Amino acid sequence: MVEFAFYVAGTVALFSTVMVVVNTHPVHALLYMVLSLLSVAMVFFTLGAPFAGALEVVVYAGAIMVLFVFVVMMLNLGAKTVAQERSWLTASGWVGPLVLSAILLVQLLLVLEPLQTTAPIGTTVIDAKQVGIALFGPYLLAVELASTLLLAGLVAAYHLGRQDD
């Protein structure tokens, strides 16, 4: 049952991610990206990481993508952009990326091959408490570094948005 949900969510994720690339309408492409993030969140749920799944929705689909859509909405892109996008999506443009990502896919399969296990998914559930203990235990340094980085970003944003008068 959980495996079925996993494969459905994975298929939706793949399809919507392809649509992000192929779609010529910027806002529709972004909506497909939201869908892709939601299905990745669903994959996290099926793998037994509901906390990570919820955060994926809150942070990526609910906050970062909102800002993306917000900016694209304000650009007021019309039929002209759609036509331009369509003319850029030619067959010859597909060859390079396809070959390169095929190489990466083969590499990934080769790496995963020896790790093959038949353990069923979704048997252990990592809840918020375990994530918190891990973050403030072994990964404390990473948390501190990330918070410093965020503080730097905050200061920079404040500087850029400052009004001189």
Partner 1 sequence: MLEPIQALLTPAVLGAIWAAAKAVIILLTLVLSAAYMIWLERRLLALWQDRYGPNRIGPFGLGQVIADMIKIFFKEDWTPPFVDKFTFILAPFIAMSLMMLAFALIPITPNWGVFAPDIGMLLFFAIAGLAVYAVMLGGWSSNSKYALLGGLRSTAQTISYEVFMGVSLMGVVIQAGTFNLREIVLYQEQHLWFVLPQFFGFLVWCLAGVAVTHRTPFDLPEAESELAAGYHTEYSGMKFGMFFVGEYVGIVMVSGLTTALFFGGWDAPFSSVFPALKTVPFLWFAIKCFLFMSSFILLRAALPRPRYDHMMSFAWKICLPLSLVNMLVTAGFVLWAGN
Distance of alpha carbon 98 from alpha carbon 26, whole angstroms: 22
Comparison of 8 and 25: residue with beta carbon closer to partner 1: 25
**Interacting residues toward partner 1 by CB under 8 A:** 27-28, 31, 34, 50-51, 54-55, 57-58, 61-63, 66-67, 69-70, 73-74, 127-128
Comparison of 99 and 162: residue with beta carbon closer to partner 1: 162
Comparison of 4 and 158: residue with beta carbon closer to partner 1: 158
Distance of alpha carbon 87 from alpha carbon 72, whole angstroms: 20
CB of residue 40 to partner 1, shortest distance in Å: 13
Comparison of 12 and 69: residue with beta carbon closer to partner 1: 69
Distance of alpha carbon 56 from alpha carbon 54, whole angstroms: 5
Distances (CA, A) of 69 to 30, 93, 158: 7, 26, 22
Distance of alpha carbon 33 from alpha carbon 40, whole angstroms: 10
Q: Which residues contact 53 (CB under 8 A, 6 or more apart)?
A: 41, 42, 43, 44, 45
CB of residue 100 to partner 1, shortest distance in Å: 33
CB of residue 101 to partner 1, shortest distance in Å: 29
CB of residue 21 to partner 1, shortest distance in Å: 19
Read off the amino acid at residue 100. L
The neighbour count for residue 48, using CB atoms within 10 Å, is 16
CB of residue 77 to partner 1, shortest distance in Å: 11
Comparison of 113 and 165: residue with beta carbon closer to partner 1: 165
Q: Under a CB-based contact definition with an 8 Å cutoff, are residues 22 and 89 in contact?
A: yes
